[in-house]
Amino acid sequence: HVVGERMSRYEFALRIAEKLNFDKNLIKKASMDEFTWRAPRPRDSSLNCDRTRAILKTEFFSTELALDILKREYEETIRRS
C-alpha cells in the first residue's frame, strides 16, 4: 500500500463519510485503550512512502482523488444492485 497524506483512522472515517454522504455523527472518536485486541495493534499505522515515491518517480493519488474513485465505484455498485 502506498499513500499520500497522513491522517488518523478517525479523520479517514470522517472523510469517507463526508464523501459518501453518510452521517458523520455516527462516527465516534475512541482511544485504542478502550478496546481489547486479540493481537497487538500499532498506535500509528501511517506509512512514510517518500522512498517509494522517489524510486518510482511518481506521485500517488491524493486522499480526495482516491475517495472520488471510491464514491464512483460505490455508486455504480448500488445502481447495479
In the chain, domain spans? 1-29+46-81
Cα angle for residues 37, 38, 44 (degrees, 5° grid):
50
pLDDT of residue 48: 83
Quote the pTM value: 0.77
Quote the CA–CA distance of 1 and 75 in Å, as a whole number: 24
pLDDT of residue 47: 80
Predicted confidence at residue 1, as pLDDT, reads 62
Mean pLDDT of the chain: 90
Which among 22, 41, 21, 23 is positioned nearest to 32, based on CA atoms?
41
Instruction: List pLDDT tens digits, range 19-58.
Output: 999 999 999 999 988 999 899 988 888 888 888 889 999 8
Number of residues assigned to the chain: 81
